[in-house]
Each structure stands twice: as C-alpha cells, then as structure tokens.
Amino acid sequence: MGRYSAFAVAREALRDHQGWTRAWDNPEPKNRYDVIIIGAGGHGLATAYYLGKNHGIRNVAILEKGWLGGGNTGRNTTIIRSNYLQDPSAAIYEKARSLYEDLSQDLNYNVMFSPRGVMMLAQTEHEVRGYKRTAHANALQGVSTEYIGPARVKQLCPIIETRGPRYPVLGALWQPRGGTARHDAVAWGYARKCSEMGMHVIQKCEVTGVRTEAGKVVGVTTSRSDIDCDKLGIVVAGHSGHVADMAGFRLPIESVALQALVSEPIKPCMDVVVMANTVHGYMSQSDKGEMVIGGGADGYNNYTQRGSFHHIEETVRALVETFPMISRLKMLRQWGGIVDMTGDRSPILSKTPVENVFINCGWGTGGFKAIPGSGWGMAELMATGNSPLTDAFGLDRFREGRFIDESVAAGVAH
C-alpha cells in the first residue's frame, strides 16, 4: 500500500497504472483479537484508527456485515458543522470539525473536505433568538460562528428568496468553517490506514451473538466463525438495539428511516450549505452539480432503508418557498438510512452493563460530521476507561436526568 502523492500519480502514468496496490486487505478472521469493533461505518473505523494511532493498540478487527461504509456513512448528506448549544456537544463536534481540516493529509487520502460555510436560516422570531443565543454560546466555547442579517444571507446565497411570503429570512447562524466532505472517502481513508497498521477490516461478516462469561465479554459469534476478544466496541448506528440485545442490555434508542434525495446535475448555483429548520429542509450542491437535499424521518420504528414517500413531497414543498428555482428541477434519486434516535438527540459513547463492552451510537440524523472526534474519544474511552470528550455522553445520563438537549440545535435532520 504505497503512499498516494503527485509523484505516485506521475510514476503510474508512465507505467500504465500497473503499480497501484489494493487500498486495504481482505483478510480471513483470526481466532482472537485484543479489540473487536462491530460495524465498519465511519465511527467504527475512526475508533479503530485512533486506537492504533493514539494508543498503540493494533491487534484489532473491524467486523462489517455488508460492505464498509454501506450504512449511514455512505448515505448521508455530508454536512459538517459544530454550532451546537451545549458544552459537551461543542467539544466533541468541534474536535471532529477541526480534525476534518487536515484529515486528508493525516490519512493520505483525499476526503474532499470543503469548508464552504454552513448557514442555518432564522425564519421566525423564535429562531432569531435561538440562534443569537447559540452564537453567544459558541463564542464562549471557542467555536467560530456569527449571527448575520438577511442582506448578508442574500449576498452569500443569492438563490434564496429572503422576503417570504410565509417565512421571510430574518437572519442566519453562519459557521464559515463548516461545510461538507466526501462520505465514502472518509470510510475508505480510515479503512486503508487501519489496514496499513495491520488491523483486519473484515467485510461480509455479520455478528450474530456476543459471548460473555461472568458478566464480561469473551468474544462474538459471526456468520463466518467465532472470534475471541478482550474488548468489544459496538458501533452499528441503527442496528444498536439489535446488537445490544445480543449482549443482554437495552438502550434508550429508536431506529427510524431518514431520507435524502438529489436532483439532476446543474451548473454551480450555490457555494454554501443552507439549512432551513422551520420549513424543515436543507440543501447544498455537490461537486457533480446535483442539489443534495435532506428529507424527513419516519415517525415510527423501521429498518427499511427506504422511508415513506410523503416525506419527499413535504421536503420539496417546504424548500420551494425558500429556493423558488428548485421548482423546475427534476429529482434523480432518493434513498434512506436507518438512524438511531435518542431522547435528547445526543449520542451515547459509553461503557455498558457488560464489562469490556463499549457502545458508540445514538448519532441519529447528524453523526457524519462527528466521525473523527467520536473515533478519537471512543478510542480513548476503550483504551483508558474514560475520555474528556465522551464522559458526558454516558448511558447513565438518562437515569440521572442529565440530558444533553440538542433537540433545538438539531431541529432538522442532518
């Protein structure tokens, strides 16, 4: 697995691209690993990567029932921002955002991080006050955001209709260093580095049971073989309830389908990400020119990776008022992912009732942006038993009534 560089591209150009090697190995599972991570989405892979990089733990397997990045990591609308309200959220999301800044260099893999700026529109008085409050909180947290007026909104994104009729744009919360990244590349980049460190990324290997002895994990059963481990990380997003059940505990999580859609590609017309929480929709333009639109989540539990059709209509109807030009666009594709929702809309990074079993879940509709920070904190938690990034996100917060309420900061699914 050689280094990717301009020199390598030139060298391969001269020898008919015969020298490229596999980006990651495709190993058979061993009988035992120090650490097993279930789920090769962004969070599972990042956890493994920082276990190796920051803590020197490299006898690690990442087990994936499908293909890597085939879960929500490969299905999201790639918004990256850290303008949350509560201090623990600001810490972990801003850690993630700042790691994204040079992730391409760190992984030697182009994740196409594009800090084009994220704008959250205020379209009611209530939202104006809410976003001003968030901007003040962010200033104290060291997260760079600012509250801007409608003229600036129009200047940054001319295709927005700021004058109404129902929901005029009164202002916006603007995070200039927020943006997007290439979702698949984030999974692939981490997988390549994990493989390079000697870890085993094992695809088509579904975990079917968790084996414990005297309240302590000893290994897992899978669709391929039984594998032993000292520590287990469950990082399976929408399937968390199902896997936790195998380990014998329940979670405060409900799984629902969340949808997104993209339009036909058009010429560049917006170079920022815009979220409109009141009308419930958000949009950005991909490098290919498609308008990427985030849709609604189903109100009832399901595992269909499809979602209900009426949400598409609701989303598009809502966005047409704020972006009149999209009324002429044809929509190309629609898809869904199974997102893991907690009551306070904050994630769970925690020890569990089973000794040496750790869980990272509950990112719900907005965990892509958090992948590097979550992996960093989760690795520290698994290696040392606690982490300043994850301490507030323990499972016990529900019993203790110590919620990290982000239902307002994350008013729309993203």
Partner 1 sequence: MLTLNCPYCGIDCDETELSPGGEAHLKRFGPGSTDEEFEGYLFMRENPRGVHFERWRHAYGCGKWFHAARDTVTLEVFGTYSAQVFEPPKEIKDAITAKRPEWSWREFS
Ligand X SMILES: Cc1cc2nc3c(=O)[nH]c(=O)nc-3n(C[C@H](O)[C@H](O)[C@H](O)COP(=O)(O)OP(=O)(O)OC[C@H]3O[C@@H](n4cnc5c(N)ncnc54)[C@H](O)[C@@H]3O)c2cc1C
Binding interface with partner 1 (CB under 8 A): 239, 241-242, 250-255, 299-304, 308-310, 343, 398-399
Nearer to ligand X, 189 or 367 (CB): 367
Q: What angle do helix axes 87-101 and 371-384 make, rounded to 10 degrees?
A: 110
Nearer to ligand X, 72 or 141 (CB): 72
DSSP letter assigned to residue 277: T
Nearer to partner 1, 83 or 365 (CB): 365
Q: What radius of gyration do the chain's Cα atoms show?
A: 21
Per the CB < 8 A criterion, the answer to whether 39 and 360 are in contact is: no
Candidate list 37, 40, 57, 121; residue touching ligand X; CB under 6 A: 40
Nearer to ligand X, 157 or 162 (CB): 157
- By the rule CB under 6 A, 111 interacts with ligand X: no
Closest CB 41 distance from ligand X, rounded Å: 2
Residue whose C-alpha is closest to residue 251's, from 366, 395, 411: 395
Residue 299 interacts, among ligand X, partner 1, none and using kind-specific CB cut-offs from 5 to 8 Å, with partner 1
* Cα–Cα dist 230/249, whole Å: 19
Candidate list 35, 38, 172, 379; residue touching ligand X; CB under 6 A: 38
Per the CB < 8 A criterion, the answer to whether 324 and 166 are in contact is: no
Site for ligand X in 196-225 (CB under 6 A): 206-207
- By the rule CB under 6 A, 311 interacts with ligand X: no
Nearer to partner 1, 180 or 308 (CB): 308
Closest CB 236 distance from ligand X, rounded Å: 4
* Cα–Cα dist 203/29, whole Å: 10
Pairing mode, if any, of strands 357-361 and 348-351? antiparallel
* Cα–Cα dist 384/172, whole Å: 41
Nearer to partner 1, 7 or 300 (CB): 300
How long, in residues, is the chain?
A: 414
Q: Tell me the site size for ligand X, rule CB under 6 A.
A: 40
241: which 2 tokens? 């309830």
- By the rule CB under 6 A, 247 interacts with ligand X: no
- By the rule CB under 6 A, 73 interacts with ligand X: yes
DSSP string, 69-124: T-SGGGTS--EE----SSHHHHHHHHHHHHHHHTHHHHHTS----B---EEEEE-S
Nearer to partner 1, 92 or 395 (CB): 395
Residue whose C-alpha is closest to residue 404's, from 52, 151, 2, 90: 90
Q: How far is CA 18 from CA 9, 110, 196, 330, in A?
A: 11, 21, 20, 41
- By the rule CB under 6 A, 236 interacts with ligand X: yes
**Which letter, b or e, does each residue of 314-324 get, where b requires 16 or more Cβ atoms within 10 Å of its Cβ?**
bbbebbbbbbe
Of the listed pieces 62-70, 105-113, 163-171, 315-323, which binds ligand X according to CB under 6 A? 62-70
Closest CB 297 distance from ligand X, rounded Å: 8
Nearer to ligand X, 311 or 351 (CB): 311
- By the rule CB under 6 A, 351 interacts with ligand X: no
Closest CB 402 distance from partner 1, rounded Å: 12
DSSP letter assigned to residue 266: -
Binding string, residues 355-394; x marks residues near ligand X by CB under 6 A: --------x-xxxxx-------------------------
Q: Which residues here bind ligand X, judged by CB under 6 A?
A: 38-44, 63-66, 70-73, 75-79, 206-207, 235-237, 239, 243, 258-260, 294, 337, 339, 363, 365-369, 414
